Protein backbone atom coordinates (compact mmCIF):
# COMPACT_ATOMS: atom_id res chain seq x y z
CA UNK A 1 0.00 0.00 0.00
CA UNK A 2 2.89 2.34 0.80
CA UNK A 3 4.37 1.78 -2.67
CA UNK A 4 1.02 2.59 -4.28
CA UNK A 5 0.76 5.77 -2.24
CA UNK A 6 4.27 6.80 -3.27
CA UNK A 7 3.41 6.25 -6.94
CA UNK A 8 0.30 8.40 -6.61
CA UNK A 9 2.23 11.14 -4.86
CA UNK A 10 4.91 11.13 -7.57
CA UNK A 11 2.25 11.27 -10.30
CA UNK A 12 0.51 14.10 -8.46
CA UNK A 13 3.71 16.17 -8.42
CA UNK A 14 4.36 15.47 -12.11
CA UNK A 15 0.76 16.40 -12.96
CA UNK A 16 0.67 19.72 -11.11
CA UNK A 17 4.11 20.67 -12.46
CA UNK A 18 3.00 19.77 -15.99
CA UNK A 19 -0.15 21.82 -15.58
CA UNK A 20 1.96 24.70 -14.29
CA UNK A 21 4.17 24.59 -17.39
CA UNK A 22 1.11 24.73 -19.64
CA UNK A 23 -0.62 27.53 -17.74
CA UNK A 24 2.58 29.59 -17.60
CA UNK A 25 2.96 29.01 -21.33
CA UNK A 26 -0.49 30.50 -21.89
CA UNK A 27 0.22 33.31 -19.45
CA UNK A 28 3.34 34.19 -21.45
CA UNK A 29 1.14 34.80 -24.52
CA UNK A 30 -1.16 37.01 -22.43
CA UNK A 31 1.81 39.03 -21.20
CA UNK A 32 3.19 39.40 -24.72
CA UNK A 33 -0.15 40.69 -25.97
CA UNK A 34 -0.39 43.17 -23.08
CA UNK A 35 3.20 44.45 -23.24
CA UNK A 36 3.13 44.83 -27.01
CA UNK A 37 -0.35 46.38 -26.98
CA UNK A 38 -1.66 43.79 -29.43
CA UNK A 39 -5.35 43.83 -30.23
CA UNK A 40 -7.61 43.78 -33.28
CA UNK A 41 -7.19 46.78 -35.55
CA UNK A 42 -10.22 49.04 -35.20
CA UNK A 43 -11.08 51.22 -38.16
CA UNK A 44 -13.81 53.66 -39.06
CA UNK A 45 -16.28 53.25 -41.88
CA UNK A 46 -14.22 55.57 -44.10
CA UNK A 47 -11.44 52.95 -44.09
CA UNK A 48 -13.87 50.56 -45.77
CA UNK A 49 -14.71 53.19 -48.39
CA UNK A 50 -10.98 53.69 -49.01
CA UNK A 51 -10.09 50.04 -49.56
CA UNK A 52 -13.11 49.57 -51.82
CA UNK A 53 -11.70 52.27 -54.13
CA UNK A 54 -8.46 50.33 -54.68
CA UNK A 55 -7.84 48.72 -58.10
CA UNK A 56 -9.26 45.23 -57.84
CA UNK A 57 -6.93 42.31 -58.43
CA UNK A 58 -8.35 39.13 -59.93
CA UNK A 59 -9.09 36.63 -57.13
CA UNK A 60 -9.60 32.89 -57.63
CA UNK A 61 -11.61 31.36 -54.76
CA UNK A 62 -10.80 27.68 -54.31
CA UNK A 63 -13.34 25.35 -52.68
CA UNK A 64 -12.87 21.60 -52.24
CA UNK A 65 -16.10 19.61 -52.09
CA UNK A 66 -16.91 16.05 -51.09
CA UNK A 67 -20.60 15.21 -50.73
CA UNK A 68 -21.66 18.85 -50.40
CA UNK A 69 -24.66 18.78 -52.78
CA UNK A 70 -27.05 20.30 -50.26
CA UNK A 71 -24.72 22.96 -48.89
CA UNK A 72 -22.82 24.29 -51.90
CA UNK A 73 -25.78 25.90 -53.67
CA UNK A 74 -26.96 28.21 -50.84
CA UNK A 75 -23.32 28.94 -49.95
CA UNK A 76 -22.48 30.18 -53.43
CA UNK A 77 -25.75 32.05 -53.98
CA UNK A 78 -25.57 33.81 -50.63
CA UNK A 79 -21.96 34.85 -51.06
CA UNK A 80 -22.46 36.03 -54.64
CA UNK A 81 -25.19 38.29 -53.37
CA UNK A 82 -23.23 39.53 -50.36
CA UNK A 83 -19.72 40.19 -51.65
CA UNK A 84 -19.00 43.83 -52.46
CA UNK A 85 -16.19 43.11 -54.93
CA UNK A 86 -16.25 42.40 -58.66
CA UNK A 87 -13.13 40.61 -59.85
CA UNK A 88 -13.38 37.08 -58.53
CA UNK A 89 -14.32 33.58 -59.69
CA UNK A 90 -15.29 30.61 -57.53
CA UNK A 91 -13.58 27.36 -58.58
CA UNK A 92 -15.55 24.40 -57.24
CA UNK A 93 -13.52 21.21 -57.00
CA UNK A 94 -15.68 18.07 -57.16
CA UNK A 95 -15.11 14.32 -57.55
CA UNK A 96 -16.39 12.30 -60.53
CA UNK A 97 -17.92 9.69 -58.17
CA UNK A 98 -19.90 12.34 -56.25
CA UNK A 99 -22.59 12.86 -58.84
CA UNK A 100 -24.98 14.90 -56.68
CA UNK A 101 -22.32 17.49 -55.91
CA UNK A 102 -21.15 17.53 -59.56
CA UNK A 103 -24.68 18.30 -60.73
CA UNK A 104 -25.17 21.00 -58.09
CA UNK A 105 -21.88 22.65 -59.06
CA UNK A 106 -22.67 22.48 -62.78
CA UNK A 107 -26.08 24.04 -62.16
CA UNK A 108 -24.32 26.93 -60.46
CA UNK A 109 -21.88 27.33 -63.33
CA UNK A 110 -24.78 27.39 -65.80
CA UNK A 111 -26.51 30.08 -63.74
CA UNK A 112 -23.37 32.18 -63.12
CA UNK A 113 -20.92 31.40 -65.95
CA UNK A 114 -18.75 34.43 -65.20
CA UNK A 115 -18.44 33.69 -61.49
CA UNK A 116 -18.42 29.89 -61.21
CA UNK A 117 -16.13 27.27 -62.75
CA UNK A 118 -16.35 23.57 -61.98
CA UNK A 119 -13.18 21.50 -61.65
CA UNK A 120 -13.69 17.72 -61.78
CA UNK A 121 -10.90 15.86 -60.05
CA UNK A 122 -8.93 13.32 -62.08
CA UNK A 123 -9.16 10.95 -59.08
CA UNK A 124 -12.23 9.47 -57.44
CA UNK A 125 -12.92 10.70 -53.94
CA UNK A 126 -12.25 11.14 -51.26
CA UNK A 127 -8.53 11.72 -51.62
CA UNK A 128 -7.25 14.50 -49.36
CA UNK A 129 -8.23 18.12 -49.27
CA UNK A 130 -4.67 19.03 -50.27
CA UNK A 131 -4.86 16.83 -53.38
CA UNK A 132 -8.19 18.34 -54.39
CA UNK A 133 -7.01 21.94 -54.01
CA UNK A 134 -3.79 21.17 -55.89
CA UNK A 135 -5.91 19.82 -58.74
CA UNK A 136 -8.05 22.95 -58.67
CA UNK A 137 -4.99 25.24 -58.74
CA UNK A 138 -3.49 23.43 -61.73
CA UNK A 139 -6.73 23.65 -63.66
CA UNK A 140 -7.01 27.35 -62.87
CA UNK A 141 -3.84 27.93 -64.86
CA UNK A 142 -5.38 26.05 -67.80
CA UNK A 143 -8.50 28.17 -67.43
CA UNK A 144 -6.35 31.31 -67.61
CA UNK A 145 -4.82 30.25 -70.91
CA UNK A 146 -8.25 29.56 -72.38
CA UNK A 147 -9.73 32.92 -71.36
CA UNK A 148 -6.60 35.06 -71.46
CA UNK A 149 -7.21 36.04 -67.82
CA UNK A 150 -4.57 36.03 -65.08
CA UNK A 151 -5.43 35.55 -61.42
CA UNK A 152 -3.30 37.61 -59.05
CA UNK A 153 -4.58 36.10 -55.80
CA UNK A 154 -5.84 32.69 -54.64
CA UNK A 155 -8.27 32.45 -51.71
CA UNK A 156 -8.98 29.19 -49.86
CA UNK A 157 -12.51 28.75 -48.52
CA UNK A 158 -14.80 25.87 -47.52
CA UNK A 159 -18.24 24.92 -48.75
CA UNK A 160 -19.93 26.07 -45.51
CA UNK A 161 -18.29 29.50 -45.25
CA UNK A 162 -20.03 32.85 -45.16
CA UNK A 163 -17.65 35.49 -46.46
CA UNK A 164 -17.86 38.99 -45.08
CA UNK A 165 -19.02 41.51 -47.74
CA UNK A 166 -15.74 43.46 -47.36
CA UNK A 167 -13.40 40.49 -46.99
CA UNK A 168 -12.14 40.53 -50.58
CA UNK A 169 -11.56 44.29 -50.45
CA UNK A 170 -9.55 43.89 -47.24
CA UNK A 171 -7.53 40.99 -48.64
CA UNK A 172 -6.91 42.95 -51.83
CA UNK A 173 -5.57 45.84 -49.72
CA UNK A 174 -3.33 43.79 -47.42
CA UNK A 175 -1.96 41.69 -50.29
CA UNK A 176 -0.03 44.74 -51.50
CA UNK A 177 2.52 44.05 -48.74
CA UNK A 178 2.20 40.30 -48.12
CA UNK A 179 2.13 37.04 -50.08
CA UNK A 180 0.19 35.18 -47.40
CA UNK A 181 -2.77 36.80 -45.63
CA UNK A 182 -5.03 35.21 -43.05
CA UNK A 183 -8.20 36.89 -41.79
CA UNK A 184 -10.04 35.73 -38.65
CA UNK A 185 -12.42 32.79 -38.60
CA UNK A 186 -15.25 32.84 -36.07
CA UNK A 187 -18.25 30.70 -35.28
CA UNK A 188 -21.77 31.99 -35.68
CA UNK A 189 -23.74 32.31 -32.48
CA UNK A 190 -25.31 29.03 -31.39
CA UNK A 191 -28.07 28.29 -28.85
CA UNK A 192 -27.04 28.42 -25.20
CA UNK A 193 -27.76 24.70 -24.93
CA UNK A 194 -25.23 23.88 -27.66
CA UNK A 195 -22.23 23.46 -25.39
CA UNK A 196 -20.16 21.51 -27.93
CA UNK A 197 -20.81 24.02 -30.70
CA UNK A 198 -20.04 26.83 -28.26
CA UNK A 199 -16.56 25.45 -27.62
CA UNK A 200 -15.57 26.67 -31.10
CA UNK A 201 -16.84 30.15 -30.27
CA UNK A 202 -14.51 30.27 -27.28
CA UNK A 203 -11.42 28.77 -28.90
CA UNK A 204 -11.51 30.72 -32.16
CA UNK A 205 -12.34 33.97 -30.39
CA UNK A 206 -9.23 33.77 -28.22
CA UNK A 207 -6.96 32.42 -30.93
CA UNK A 208 -7.99 34.90 -33.62
CA UNK A 209 -8.15 38.07 -31.54
CA UNK A 210 -4.95 37.51 -29.55
CA UNK A 211 -2.82 34.40 -30.10
CA UNK A 212 -2.23 34.86 -33.83
CA UNK A 213 -1.42 38.53 -33.27
CA UNK A 214 1.28 37.47 -30.80
CA UNK A 215 2.69 34.89 -33.21
CA UNK A 216 2.96 37.48 -35.94
CA UNK A 217 4.47 40.14 -33.66
CA UNK A 218 7.11 37.69 -32.39
CA UNK A 219 8.14 36.79 -35.93
CA UNK A 220 6.77 33.24 -36.00
CA UNK A 221 4.92 31.65 -38.90
CA UNK A 222 1.24 32.52 -39.27
CA UNK A 223 -0.64 29.22 -39.71
CA UNK A 224 -3.43 29.03 -42.24
CA UNK A 225 -6.89 28.31 -40.86
CA UNK A 226 -7.76 26.58 -44.13
CA UNK A 227 -10.36 29.26 -44.88
CA UNK A 228 -9.96 33.01 -45.19
CA UNK A 229 -6.40 32.35 -46.41
CA UNK A 230 -5.18 34.45 -49.33
CA UNK A 231 -2.09 33.51 -51.34
CA UNK A 232 -0.31 35.57 -53.96
CA UNK A 233 0.40 34.10 -57.39
CA UNK A 234 4.09 34.39 -56.53
CA UNK A 235 3.60 32.21 -53.44
CA UNK A 236 1.51 29.60 -55.29
CA UNK A 237 4.15 29.21 -57.99
CA UNK A 238 6.96 29.21 -55.42
CA UNK A 239 5.28 26.48 -53.39
CA UNK A 240 4.67 24.42 -56.54
CA UNK A 241 8.32 24.69 -57.47
CA UNK A 242 9.43 23.64 -53.98
CA UNK A 243 6.95 20.74 -53.67
CA UNK A 244 6.95 18.94 -57.02
CA UNK A 245 4.09 20.87 -58.60
CA UNK A 246 1.92 20.97 -55.45
CA UNK A 247 1.27 24.15 -53.49
CA UNK A 248 -0.24 22.04 -50.69
CA UNK A 249 1.18 18.89 -49.11
CA UNK A 250 -1.15 16.03 -50.01
CA UNK A 251 -0.20 13.39 -47.43
CA UNK A 252 -1.26 15.37 -44.36
CA UNK A 253 -4.73 16.06 -42.96
CA UNK A 254 -3.75 19.64 -42.08
CA UNK A 255 -2.40 20.86 -45.39
CA UNK A 256 -3.39 24.39 -44.37
CA UNK A 257 -1.19 24.37 -41.26
CA UNK A 258 1.72 22.95 -43.25
CA UNK A 259 1.21 25.70 -45.84
CA UNK A 260 1.68 28.46 -43.27
CA UNK A 261 4.84 26.86 -41.91
CA UNK A 262 6.33 26.37 -45.38
CA UNK A 263 5.49 29.93 -46.46
CA UNK A 264 7.62 31.20 -43.57
CA UNK A 265 10.42 28.72 -44.34
CA UNK A 266 10.58 29.78 -48.00
CA UNK A 267 10.77 33.46 -47.08
CA UNK A 268 7.30 34.66 -48.08
CA UNK A 269 5.89 37.54 -46.05
CA UNK A 270 2.82 36.63 -44.00
CA UNK A 271 0.19 38.85 -42.42
CA UNK A 272 -2.69 38.23 -40.03
CA UNK A 273 -5.28 40.89 -40.85
CA UNK A 274 -7.57 41.15 -37.83
CA UNK A 275 -9.78 44.16 -38.56
CA UNK A 276 -12.88 45.34 -36.72
CA UNK A 277 -14.76 48.30 -38.12
CA UNK A 278 -17.46 50.53 -36.73
CA UNK A 279 -20.53 50.69 -38.92
CA UNK A 280 -22.63 53.80 -39.42
CA UNK A 281 -25.08 52.64 -36.75
CA UNK A 282 -22.21 52.44 -34.23
CA UNK A 283 -22.08 48.64 -34.10
CA UNK A 284 -18.66 46.99 -34.39
CA UNK A 285 -18.08 44.09 -36.74
CA UNK A 286 -15.10 41.92 -37.66
CA UNK A 287 -14.17 41.38 -41.29
CA UNK A 288 -13.97 37.62 -40.89
CA UNK A 289 -15.13 34.30 -42.26
CA UNK A 290 -18.03 32.88 -40.26
CA UNK A 291 -19.34 29.34 -40.18
CA UNK A 292 -21.06 26.75 -38.03
CA UNK A 293 -18.91 24.07 -36.44
CA UNK A 294 -19.96 20.59 -35.24
CA UNK A 295 -22.37 20.71 -32.30
CA UNK A 296 -22.43 16.97 -31.53
CA UNK A 297 -19.73 15.40 -29.34
CA UNK A 298 -18.83 12.59 -31.76
CA UNK A 299 -18.62 14.92 -34.76
CA UNK A 300 -16.51 17.41 -32.84
CA UNK A 301 -14.11 14.68 -31.72
CA UNK A 302 -13.86 13.49 -35.32
CA UNK A 303 -13.03 16.96 -36.62
CA UNK A 304 -10.57 17.77 -33.85
CA UNK A 305 -8.89 14.40 -34.26
CA UNK A 306 -8.01 15.51 -37.79
CA UNK A 307 -6.43 18.69 -36.44
CA UNK A 308 -4.52 16.79 -33.75
CA UNK A 309 -3.39 14.08 -36.16
CA UNK A 310 -2.26 16.59 -38.77
CA UNK A 311 -0.54 19.09 -36.47
CA UNK A 312 0.76 17.10 -33.51
CA UNK A 313 1.60 13.76 -35.15
CA UNK A 314 2.05 14.32 -38.89
CA UNK A 315 3.35 17.85 -38.30
CA UNK A 316 6.14 16.63 -36.04
CA UNK A 317 7.07 14.00 -38.61
CA UNK A 318 6.92 16.32 -41.65
CA UNK A 319 8.19 19.62 -40.26
CA UNK A 320 10.24 18.30 -37.34
CA UNK A 321 11.61 21.29 -35.35
CA UNK A 322 12.81 23.60 -38.10
CA UNK A 323 13.38 27.34 -37.92
CA UNK A 324 14.48 29.77 -35.26
CA UNK A 325 13.83 29.45 -31.53
CA UNK A 326 10.55 31.37 -31.81
CA UNK A 327 9.37 28.95 -34.52
CA UNK A 328 10.23 25.96 -32.34
CA UNK A 329 8.38 27.54 -29.41
CA UNK A 330 5.15 27.95 -31.34
CA UNK A 331 5.50 24.47 -32.82
CA UNK A 332 5.61 23.24 -29.24
CA UNK A 333 2.42 25.16 -28.47
CA UNK A 334 0.74 23.72 -31.56
CA UNK A 335 1.77 20.14 -30.72
CA UNK A 336 1.13 20.07 -27.00
CA UNK A 337 -2.53 18.97 -27.26
CA UNK A 338 -1.82 15.23 -26.69
CA UNK A 339 0.21 16.04 -23.58
CA UNK A 340 -2.58 18.24 -22.31
CA UNK A 341 -5.02 15.35 -22.75
CA UNK A 342 -2.70 13.08 -20.79
CA UNK A 343 -2.58 15.61 -17.94
CA UNK A 344 -6.37 15.79 -17.88
CA UNK A 345 -6.67 12.02 -17.62
CA UNK A 346 -4.01 11.90 -14.92
CA UNK A 347 -5.86 14.57 -12.95
CA UNK A 348 -9.05 12.51 -12.96
CA UNK A 349 -7.21 9.32 -12.00
CA UNK A 350 -5.32 11.05 -9.21
CA UNK A 351 -8.46 12.65 -7.82
CA UNK A 352 -10.09 9.23 -7.54
CA UNK A 353 -6.89 7.71 -6.17
CA UNK A 354 -6.43 10.27 -3.43
CA UNK A 355 -10.00 9.80 -2.28
CA UNK A 356 -9.49 6.04 -2.08
CA UNK A 357 -6.05 6.25 -0.47
CA UNK A 358 -7.00 9.09 1.88
CA UNK A 359 -3.95 11.28 1.24
CA UNK A 360 -5.21 14.26 3.20
CA UNK A 361 -1.80 15.01 4.75
CA UNK A 362 -0.10 15.24 1.37
CA UNK A 363 -2.87 17.40 -0.07
CA UNK A 364 -2.39 19.83 2.82
CA UNK A 365 1.38 20.08 2.26
CA UNK A 366 2.57 23.65 1.72
CA UNK A 367 4.43 22.93 -1.54
CA UNK A 368 1.53 21.03 -3.09
CA UNK A 369 -0.99 23.66 -2.02
CA UNK A 370 1.23 26.42 -3.42
CA UNK A 371 1.40 24.65 -6.79
CA UNK A 372 -2.34 24.06 -6.79
CA UNK A 373 -2.98 27.69 -5.87
CA UNK A 374 -0.74 28.93 -8.68
CA UNK A 375 -2.47 26.66 -11.19
CA UNK A 376 -5.87 27.81 -9.97
CA UNK A 377 -4.84 31.45 -10.37
CA UNK A 378 -3.58 30.81 -13.88
CA UNK A 379 -6.80 28.99 -14.76
CA UNK A 380 -8.86 31.97 -13.60
CA UNK A 381 -6.71 34.25 -15.76
CA UNK A 382 -7.17 31.85 -18.68
CA UNK A 383 -10.94 31.89 -18.31
CA UNK A 384 -10.99 35.67 -17.98
CA UNK A 385 -8.94 36.02 -21.17
CA UNK A 386 -11.27 33.74 -23.06
CA UNK A 387 -14.36 35.51 -21.76
CA UNK A 388 -12.89 38.85 -22.84
CA UNK A 389 -12.26 37.46 -26.33
CA UNK A 390 -15.77 36.03 -26.67
CA UNK A 391 -17.23 39.41 -25.67
CA UNK A 392 -15.50 40.86 -28.74
CA UNK A 393 -16.73 38.31 -31.28
CA UNK A 394 -20.12 36.92 -30.26
CA UNK A 395 -23.34 37.68 -28.38
CA UNK A 396 -22.74 38.68 -24.77
CA UNK A 397 -24.70 35.76 -23.30
CA UNK A 398 -21.93 33.44 -24.48
CA UNK A 399 -19.44 35.06 -22.10
CA UNK A 400 -20.92 33.51 -18.96
CA UNK A 401 -20.96 30.07 -20.60
CA UNK A 402 -17.19 29.99 -21.14
CA UNK A 403 -16.36 28.27 -17.79
CA UNK A 404 -18.94 25.53 -18.45
CA UNK A 405 -17.73 24.96 -21.99
CA UNK A 406 -14.16 24.77 -20.71
CA UNK A 407 -14.93 21.35 -19.21
CA UNK A 408 -16.76 20.24 -22.35
CA UNK A 409 -13.74 21.25 -24.44
CA UNK A 410 -11.49 19.07 -22.29
CA UNK A 411 -13.72 16.04 -22.87
CA UNK A 412 -13.76 16.67 -26.62
CA UNK A 413 -10.00 17.15 -26.78
CA UNK A 414 -9.23 13.97 -24.84
CA UNK A 415 -11.47 11.95 -27.17
CA UNK A 416 -9.98 13.62 -30.24
CA UNK A 417 -6.43 12.89 -29.07
CA UNK A 418 -7.22 9.20 -28.59
CA UNK A 419 -8.81 8.97 -32.05
CA UNK A 420 -5.85 10.81 -33.62
CA UNK A 421 -3.34 8.52 -31.94
CA UNK A 422 -5.18 5.41 -33.13
CA UNK A 423 -5.42 6.73 -36.70
CA UNK A 424 -1.75 7.68 -36.78
CA UNK A 425 -0.66 4.32 -35.36
CA UNK A 426 -2.82 2.47 -37.87
CA UNK A 427 -1.41 4.49 -40.77
CA UNK A 428 2.15 3.69 -39.66
CA UNK A 429 1.34 -0.04 -39.49
CA UNK A 430 -0.47 -0.28 -42.82
CA UNK A 431 1.49 2.35 -44.75
CA UNK A 432 -1.79 3.94 -45.87
CA UNK A 433 -2.20 7.65 -45.25
CA UNK A 434 -5.42 8.76 -43.53
CA UNK A 435 -8.09 10.04 -45.93
CA UNK A 436 -10.18 13.20 -45.75
CA UNK A 437 -12.22 13.14 -42.54
CA UNK A 438 -15.48 14.87 -43.40
CA UNK A 439 -17.85 16.58 -40.97
CA UNK A 440 -21.43 17.55 -41.70
CA UNK A 441 -21.91 21.17 -42.68
CA UNK A 442 -24.79 23.62 -42.46
CA UNK A 443 -25.50 27.18 -43.47
CA UNK A 444 -27.38 29.98 -41.68
CA UNK A 445 -31.13 29.71 -42.16
CA UNK A 446 -32.33 31.40 -45.37
CA UNK A 447 -28.76 32.16 -46.52
CA UNK A 448 -28.91 31.93 -50.31
CA UNK A 449 -32.14 29.91 -50.32
CA UNK A 450 -34.33 32.61 -51.85
CA UNK A 451 -32.44 32.88 -55.15
CA UNK A 452 -33.44 30.71 -58.11
CA UNK A 453 -30.81 28.76 -60.08
CA UNK A 454 -31.16 27.23 -63.52
CA UNK A 455 -31.31 23.43 -63.27
CA UNK A 456 -29.45 21.23 -65.75
CA UNK A 457 -31.61 18.37 -66.97
Are 204 and 216 in contact by the 8 Å Cβ rule? The answer is no
User: Residue 243's pLDDT is what?
Assistant: 93
Flag whether pLDDT at 38 surpasses 90: yes
User: Residue 181's pLDDT is what?
Assistant: 98
Flag whether pLDDT at 357 surpasses 50: yes
User: Residue 359's pLDDT is what?
Assistant: 63
Give the separation between CA 427 and CA 32, rounded to whole angstroms. Answer: 39
Flag whether pLDDT at 400 surpasses 60: yes
User: Residues 11-25: what's their mean pLDDT?
Assistant: 91
Q: Taking Cα atoms as reference points, which of 251, 291, 250, 256 lies closest to residue 270? A: 256
Flag whether pLDDT at 273 surpasses 90: yes
Q: Using one digit for the tens of pLDDT, what is the confidence trace for 155-174?
A: 999 999 999 999 999 999 99
Lowest mean pLDDT among 69-78, 220-229, 439-448: 439-448
Q: How confident is the model at residue 433 (pLDDT cuts 50, 70, 90)?
A: confident
User: Residues 228-256: what's their mean pLDDT?
Assistant: 96
The per-residue DSSP string of 107-155 comes to HHHHH-TTTEEEEE-SSPSP--HHHHHHHHHHHHHHHHHHHT----EEE
Q: How confident is the model at residue 453 (pLDDT cuts 50, 70, 90)?
A: very low
Dihedral, CA of residue 94, residue 98, residue 104 and residue 105, to nearest 10: 10
User: Residue 153's pLDDT is what?
Assistant: 98
CATH classification number, 39-295, choose in 3.30.70.860, 3.90.550.10, 3.20.20.60, 2.170.190.11: 3.90.550.10
Residue 83's alpha-carbon distances to 158, 234, 372, 426, in angstroms, are 16, 25, 51, 44
Q: How confident is the model at residue 457 (pLDDT cuts 50, 70, 90)?
A: very low
Are 223 and 261 in contact by the 8 Å Cβ rule? The answer is yes
Give the separation between CA 369 and CA 365, rounded to whole angstroms. Answer: 6
The set of residues, in sequence order, having a beta carbon less than 8 Å from that of 206 and lying 6+ positions away, is 385, 386, 389, 390
In degrees and rounded to multiples of 5, residue 303 shows phi and psi of: -65, -45
Sign of the dihedral through C-alpha 190, 193, 195, 196? negative
Give the separation between CA 112 and CA 283, rounded to whole angstroms. Answer: 33
| CB-count exposure of residue 243 (10 Å: 0-12, 13-18, 19+) | middle
Q: Is 135 left (phi over 0), alpha (psi -120 to 50) or beta?
A: alpha
Q: How confident is the model at residue 363 (pLDDT cuts 50, 70, 90)?
A: low
User: Residues 70-76: what's their mean pLDDT?
Assistant: 96
User: Residues 449-454: what's their mean pLDDT?
Assistant: 50
The set of residues, in sequence order, having a beta carbon less than 8 Å from that of 196 and lying 6+ positions away, is 294, 295, 296, 297, 300, 408, 412
Q: How confident is the model at residue 9 (pLDDT cuts 50, 70, 90)?
A: confident
Lowest mean pLDDT among 8-12, 202-206, 404-408, 436-440: 436-440
Are 20 and 370 in contact by the 8 Å Cβ rule? The answer is no
Q: Taking Cα atoms as reference points, which of 61, 29, 105 lies closest to residue 289? A: 61
Q: How confident is the model at residue 360 (pLDDT cuts 50, 70, 90)?
A: low
Give the separation between CA 390 and CA 393, rounded to whole angstroms. Answer: 5
User: Residue 364's pLDDT is what?
Assistant: 67
User: Residue 159's pLDDT is what?
Assistant: 96
User: Residue 283's pLDDT is what?
Assistant: 86
Q: How confident is the model at residue 442 (pLDDT cuts 50, 70, 90)?
A: confident
How many Å separate Cα 446 from the centre of its chain?
25
Amino acid sequence: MAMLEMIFIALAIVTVLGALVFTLDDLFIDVQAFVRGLKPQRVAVDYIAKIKRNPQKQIAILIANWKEAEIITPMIRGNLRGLEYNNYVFFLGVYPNDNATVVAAQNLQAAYPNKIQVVINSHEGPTSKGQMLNEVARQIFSFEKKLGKTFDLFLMQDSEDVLHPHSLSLLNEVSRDADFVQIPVFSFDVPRSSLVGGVYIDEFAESHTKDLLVREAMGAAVPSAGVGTLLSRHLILGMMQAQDGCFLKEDTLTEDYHLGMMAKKLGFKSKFACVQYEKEDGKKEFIATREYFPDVMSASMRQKSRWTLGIAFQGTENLQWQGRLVDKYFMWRDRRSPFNSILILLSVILLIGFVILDQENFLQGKLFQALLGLNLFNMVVRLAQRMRAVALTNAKHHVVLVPVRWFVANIVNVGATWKAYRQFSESKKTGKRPVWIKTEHRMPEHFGHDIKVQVIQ
